[in-house]
Copies of this chain bind each other. A is one copy, B any other.
Amino acid sequence: MNGAPDRKNSDKYRAIIEAAIEVFAEHGYHNARVVKIARAAGVAEGTVYLYFRNKEDLLVSAFREKMETFTGEVAGRLAEPGGAAEKLRRLVDMHLAGLGADFTLALFFQIHLRQPEEAVHDGIAGPLARYARLIEGVVEEGMASGEFLPGLNKKLVRQMIFGAIDEVVSNWVHARGKYSLPGQAGAVSAFLLRGLAGTR
């Protein structure tokens, strides 16, 4: 989207993205200074603007970059054989493991990304929707196979699943990562699966 097509593979592009995630995570979007991101990436301020249209584009690009990687990995694991319940467990595991292993990334995702700026929302919506569809796919599969209750509102259930996991991550972040996030995966999956299937 920015400049030459292979810019995205340059070392500087990646360095700036990583630096941005750190600085956004530490200060939040509005209090993050572009010059600080540049310094953290080891480049000059102007260089940031060779790779990104503006600060907003940097935020959105950083999110997409990470989110797309994550969604891709989850999609891969969900394509492997297994029942819907098993797949939901995988998804929860990956979600909590992925963020639980990278506090800064979790901070970036949970706390600071929710900006009211139109462009931010628009740039973020796509990758988030792809993840949402992944969850909905599992729900559908479970309803079709009889593993989950029939007649669930797919979209609503997806929202609740995502919201529940998301809030668990947020609390872990607010607790400054003092306990193991992946360690919660079992209890989270169990709760959600009961909600979906009803059996204890």
User: Out of B152, B163, B171, which one reaches A164, CB within 8 Å?
Assistant: B163
Q: Which residues of B contact A39 (CB under 8 A)?
A: none
Q: Is B157 touching A162 in the complex (CB atoms < 8 A)?
A: no
Q: Which residues of B contact A156 (CB under 8 A)?
A: 168, 184, 187-188, 191
Name the prevailing secondary structure of the A interface residues.
helix
Give bound CA distance, A152 to B194, whole Å: 13
Could you give 26 example pairs across A and B, Cβ below 8 Å?
A28-B115, A28-B116, A28-B117, A152-B191, A153-B187, A155-B171, A159-B164, A159-B168, A159-B170, A160-B164, A160-B168, A160-B188, A163-B163, A163-B164, A163-B166, A163-B168, A166-B167, A191-B196, A194-B194, A194-B196, A194-B197, A194-B198, A195-B195, A198-B198, A198-B199, A199-B200
User: Out of B114, B152, B199, which one reaches A111, CB within 8 Å?
Assistant: B114
Count of A interface residues, CB-CB < 8 Å: 40
Q: Which residues of B contact A191 (CB under 8 A)?
A: 152, 156-157, 160, 195-196
Contact with B along A166-200 (1 / 0, CB 8 A): 11101100000000000010011001101111111
Q: Nearest chain B CB to A12's CB is how many angstroms away?
A: 19
Q: Is B149 touching A200 in the complex (CB atoms < 8 A)?
A: yes
Q: Which residues of B contact A152 (CB under 8 A)?
A: 187, 191
Does A7 sit within 8 A of B, measured CB to CB? no
Q: Using CB atoms and an 8 Å cutoff, list the residues of chain A in contact with chain B.
A: 27-28, 30-31, 111-112, 114-117, 149, 152-153, 155-157, 159-168, 170-171, 184, 187-188, 191-192, 194-200
Q: Nearest chain B CB to A136's CB is how many angstroms away?
A: 13
Residue of B whose beta carbon sits closest to that of A171: B159
Q: Nearest chain B CB to A27's CB is how many angstroms away?
A: 7
Q: Which residues of B contact A200 (CB under 8 A)?
A: 149, 197-199
